[in-house]
A and B are shown apart, each in its own frame.
Chain A
C-alpha cells in the first residue's frame, strides 16, 4: 500500500531510528538508581573487604545473595512458601541490599525468608521437606542442625575425588551457609577502612576494642549502629543521616577508595553486559532479516546497533579492568566476556570489509553466546576474585592470557562463520558462488588470525611457566588444550594449502574448531587436574556435552552430499569432480582462498 517513495524514505531513516533506539537503551545504563524511602543508593556505597578485595556493600550483598539463593533479588511473597516466583511477581520485591540489611539488622526476620536454594533431592529428604520446593529458610535448616552437621562431617571425611553428588551437594550447602552466617556477623566483617598508613582493614569489634583501650573516634561503629537502628525502627531519617555522615567521613579519609567504590556501584547498577546481550540479539535479527530481503538499510542498521553494543561491551570490559586494577582476563568469567569481545571486534572488522551482514551476524552471535555463558558463570558470586599467588602478575596476565583468549575468540569466530556457511548452504538458497567465496575467505583469514594468537599465546604461557616454576612445557591439561587449538588451526591451514579440503571442507573443519576450543576452554577444567584448573562446575559438563553435540550435528549437516544442499540445487552448475588432483606438488603456502571450489 505504501508508495515506493514512502517506503524508500522509511528505509533511509531505519538505520537512524535503530541507532537512536540502541543509544537510548544503552544510555539508560547511566541513569542513577532511584531510592525509595531509604537512602539505599548511599548505603550501597559503603566499603567492605570481602574475599581479599575492597568492594561496595552493593557487590557484597549481590554476591552473597547469589551464592545463597542463585538470584539477585527475591519477592517477599515467596518467603512464606505458598507462592512460587511467577505468582509472586508484582508483590513487594526485596533487593539484595535490602536483604543484606535485614540479615544484618533484623537477623531473626531474615532467617524466616525462604531463600537458601537446595536442589539435591536427598538433602531435601534429610530436611524432611517437600521435594518440589527449591528454597528454604535458615530457620528450617537450623531446625535440623544436628543432622545436617553430621552429614557435612561425613562428607568431609571422604577424599575430595571420591565424593558422590549428594556429598558434593551437602558440602556446597555447608559453604553457602557459612557465607550466610558470615554476612550475619556484622561485627566481624571487615567494614572499617584503615585510618592511618600502615594499618589494615579491621572489624567493628576491633574498632570498639581500640576505642576502649586507647580512646579516639569510632566512625564506622557509630555509623553502623545508627544505620541498623534506623532500619530496624523503619526510620528513614536516622538511616539517611547516619549513612550521609559516614559517607562524608569516608570521602575525606579514603577519597581514592571511594571513587572506585562509586564506580563499581554504578557498574553493578548499569548491568552493562545484560544490555549488550539485548543489543546483540537485535543485531542478529536485523542482519538475518537482511538476507531474506537483501536491503542495505537493514545491513546498515545492524552495523550501527552492533557498534553501540560493542561500545557498551568495551565499556564494561574497561570498567572491570579499572575497578580490579588488573588486565581484562583473570578468571573463567572474565575470559568469557573477553572471548565475546574479541570475536565481536573481529566480526565488526569483517563487516567493515564485506558489508554483507555476515560479519554482523557472527559478531552478534558470538557476542551473545559468550555473554550468556559469562552470565551463567557469574552466578557463583563475586566475579572479581583475587588470584592465587602464582597467577598474580599483571605482565603475564596482560600478555599470555589476553593473547590466548583472543586465540579462543578467533577460533570460535571462524567456527561460527563455518556454521553460517553450512546452515545457509543446506537450508536456504542464499549461498551463491559469491557468498561461498567471501565466506571462505573470511574463514580462512580468521583461521590465520587464530593460528597466530593461539601459537603466540601458548608459547607465552610456556615462558610464564618457565619463569614461575622452571618448566617451559609441563604437558598440563590446560597447556595441552591450548596446544590442541594451535595444532588444529595448523592442520586446517595445511589441509587447505595441500588441496585436501576446499570451501566446504574449510567450513566443516572450522566448526570442528569450536569443539577443540570448547574443550580447551572448559573441558580441561572439568578434568579436575592441573595447575590451571580455575573453575569447575557440575552443570557445566552438561552444557559442554550439549554444545559438542550441536557442533557434531552441524558437522553432520555440512557433510551431507552437495545435491542435498538447497543452495547447490539452485546454482545447478556442473562442478569438477572432487578428486581432481593438482598437477604439481603445491608450493609451501599458496594464497589459498583464490583456488577453485
Chain B
C-alpha cells in the first residue's frame, strides 16, 4: 500500500514541511498586503494580494516611498496559498488519519480552520456590499453599490412612474457609441474618468487636447470642466473616487449637445439630475451609484448622533427606521445602532455613517451567505484548542505533582 503511486504523490502534499512553508508564505503575503495599503485602497489590495492567484510584490512598498526602489518579486496570491493549505490539511488527515481520543482536539481545530477558509472563500465569491443613504423623513427602496457607477437616462413624462435606462460603467469607454432600443437617441461617450476633479474657469492647454468640451447642461451653467485624477488610496478613509463622463447625445447623426455627467453632481443635493433636451421632450441624466431595488422600503424616522460631553468624539449613532414590506406583510419600527444591525431577508443593515449635519443616515447593506461560517468555525476551533492544550496541561500538571 505504501508503495502505491497515489501514496507517493499525496505524501509530499501531506507533509508538515509543506505546512510550515505555506504558513511562512502566508505570513509574508499578509505582511506585504498590509504595507501595500499605504498606497492602495483596501479593496484594491484585497483584489491584488488576497483574492488573487498570483501577485507581483514591489520592493518599494516596504521602503520610504521617495527612495523609489525599482523591482519586486512574483509571489503566490491568497487563493493559491489558501488552496494549498487546504489541500495540505485535508491530505494530511487522509494519509495519517487515525482516530483516537487524543486526536480529537487536533481534528476539531483543523475542521474549524477548514470552515474558516471556506467561509472566506464564500465571502470572496458571494458577499455583496451596498449602501442605503436616507434623509430624515425620506423613504428609500434601493441600495447603492458605492464601488461602481452607472449613467442613467430618465424619461419623466409618464406621471405614474419614471422610465430609467441605466448604462453600466463597463460600457463607458471613450469613443463608445451606445445604442439602446428604449431610447430614441444614441449616446456617444466622449471621455470617461474613473476619478475626476471638477474645476471652474478656462480649460488649460494641457488637458484641453485630451478632453472634450461640454456645450450643454450643468457644465455650461457652472462653467465647469473635468480632468482625470489618480484613484484615491486606502489611507484616507474619507476620500472617494468621483467618476465623470463627457457624453454626447446623437439623433439621426446630429449632435444635440455634449454634457458633463459627474458623480459629484449627483452627490450634491443642489445639483442632482440635469436636463437633456431632445426635440420637444426633456429627459434627465445623471452619473450615479448603481442601484439595487428592494421589494421593501425603509423610512428614516429619526437619526441620532450623540457625542461625549464637551467633545466631538462620537458616542453613539442610531437610526430609528420603519421597515415596510408588503410582500411579507411587514410594517414595523426598528432601531439600528452601533453593533446592533438589522438582519432582514438575507441581508444585514449596519449603522455605517451619517450625512452632513446629522440630517440623514447611511446604512451598510451586506448580503453574505457565508456569514454564519466563522461563528461555527470559531466555536469548533476554540473547543479543539481547549481540548488539545487542556489535556497537555492536565498531563503536565499531573506529572509535576507526582514528580
Q: Are B308 and A500 in touch, CB under 8 angstroms?
A: no
Q: Are A586 and B311 in touch, CB under 8 angstroms?
A: no
A161-B235, A396-B339, A466-B371 known; A459 and B381 CB under 8 Å? yes
Q: Are A52 and B311 in touch, CB under 8 angstroms?
A: yes
Q: Are B364 and A469 in touch, CB under 8 angstroms?
A: yes
Please pick, from B17, B308, B364, B381, the residue contacting A470 in the complex, using a CB distance under 8 A: B364
Residues of B contacting A480 in the complex (Cβ-Cβ under 8 angstroms) = 30-31, 33-34
> How near does chain A come to B127, taking the closest CB pair, in angstroms?
8
Q: Are B119 and A494 in touch, CB under 8 angstroms?
A: no
Residues of B contacting A488 in the complex (Cβ-Cβ under 8 angstroms) = 23, 27
Residues of B contacting A456 in the complex (Cβ-Cβ under 8 angstroms) = 378, 381-382, 385
Most buried by B among A396, A455, A456, A484: A455
Q: Are A392 and B316 in touch, CB under 8 angstroms?
A: yes
Q: Are B30 and A588 in touch, CB under 8 angstroms?
A: no
| Count of residues in A whose CB is under 8 Å from the partner chain | 70
> How near does chain B come to A327, taking the closest CB pair, in angstroms?
14
Q: Is A449 an interface residue (CB 8 A)?
A: yes
Q: Is B76 an interface residue (CB 8 A)?
A: no
Residues of A contacting B364 in the complex (Cβ-Cβ under 8 angstroms) = 469-470
Interface Cβ pair total, 8 Å cutoff = 187
Residues of A contacting B176 in the complex (Cβ-Cβ under 8 angstroms) = none
Please pick, from B96, B123, B366, B374, the residue contacting A585 in the complex, using a CB distance under 8 A: B96
Please pick, from B11, B16, B45, B348, the residue contacting A586 in the complex, using a CB distance under 8 A: B16
Name the CB-closest residue of A to B396. A445
Q: Are B34 and A524 in touch, CB under 8 angstroms?
A: yes
Q: Are A389 and B316 in touch, CB under 8 angstroms?
A: yes
Name the CB-closest residue of A to B395. A591
Q: Are B106 and A588 in touch, CB under 8 angstroms?
A: yes
A392-B338, A498-B20 known; A588 and B366 CB under 8 Å? no
Among listed B35-43, B147-155, B183-191, B292-300, interface-contacting one:
B35-43
**Interface of A: prevailing SS:** helix
Contacting B at CB under 8 A, from A376-403, are 386, 388-390, 392-393, 396
Contacting A at CB under 8 A, from B51-107, are 92-93, 95-96, 98, 103, 106
Contacting A at CB under 8 A, from B217-237, are 234-237
- Chain B 374-398 near chain A by CB (<8 Å), digits 1 or 0: 1101100110011011001101110
Q: Are B129 and A470 in touch, CB under 8 angstroms?
A: yes
> How near does chain A come to B73, taking the closest CB pair, in angstroms?
19
Q: Is A312 an interface residue (CB 8 A)?
A: no
Q: Are B313 and A472 in touch, CB under 8 angstroms?
A: no
Among listed A295-303, A419-427, A526-534, interface-contacting one:
A526-534
Residues of A contacting B234 in the complex (Cβ-Cβ under 8 angstroms) = 529
Name the CB-closest residue of A to B386. A452
**Interface of B: prevailing SS:** helix
Q: Is B120 an interface residue (CB 8 A)?
A: yes
Q: Is B46 an interface residue (CB 8 A)?
A: yes
Q: Is A451 an interface residue (CB 8 A)?
A: yes
Q: Are A455 and B381 in touch, CB under 8 angstroms?
A: yes
Q: Are A190 and B309 in touch, CB under 8 angstroms?
A: yes
> How near does chain A come to B249, taking the closest CB pair, in angstroms?
38
Q: Is A476 an interface residue (CB 8 A)?
A: yes
> How near does chain A come to B29, taking the closest CB pair, in angstroms?
10
Q: Is B211 an interface residue (CB 8 A)?
A: no
Q: Is A25 an interface residue (CB 8 A)?
A: no
Q: Are A452 and B385 in touch, CB under 8 angstroms?
A: yes
A468 to B123, CA, bound (A): 17
Please pick, from A396, A462, A484, the residue contacting B374 in the complex, using a CB distance under 8 A: A462
A455-B385, A500-B20 known; A587 and B96 CB under 8 Å? yes
Residues of B contacting A448 in the complex (Cβ-Cβ under 8 angstroms) = 388-389, 392
Residues of B contacting A497 in the complex (Cβ-Cβ under 8 angstroms) = 16
> How near does chain A come to B57, taking the closest CB pair, in angstroms?
15
> How near does chain B come to A158, taking the closest CB pair, in angstroms?
13
Q: Is B193 an interface residue (CB 8 A)?
A: no
A52-B308, A386-B315, A390-B338 known; A472 and B371 CB under 8 Å? yes
Residues of B contacting A589 in the complex (Cβ-Cβ under 8 angstroms) = 103, 106, 388
Q: Are A445 and B23 in touch, CB under 8 angstroms?
A: no
A495 to B19, CA, bound (A): 9
A467 to B35, CA, bound (A): 26
Pairs A–B under 8 Å by Cβ, sample size 26: A50-B310, A51-B313, A52-B315, A161-B236, A353-B400, A388-B313, A393-B338, A451-B389, A452-B389, A455-B382, A455-B385, A463-B374, A467-B339, A468-B350, A470-B348, A470-B368, A471-B366, A472-B119, A472-B123, A477-B34, A480-B33, A491-B20, A498-B19, A527-B37, A529-B37, A589-B103
Taking Cβ atoms with an 8 Å cutoff, the residues of A that contact B are: 49-53, 160-161, 190, 200-201, 353, 386, 388-390, 392-393, 396, 441, 445, 448-449, 451-452, 455-456, 459-460, 462-464, 466-477, 480-481, 483-484, 487-488, 490-491, 494-495, 497-498, 500, 516, 519, 524, 527-531, 585-589, 591
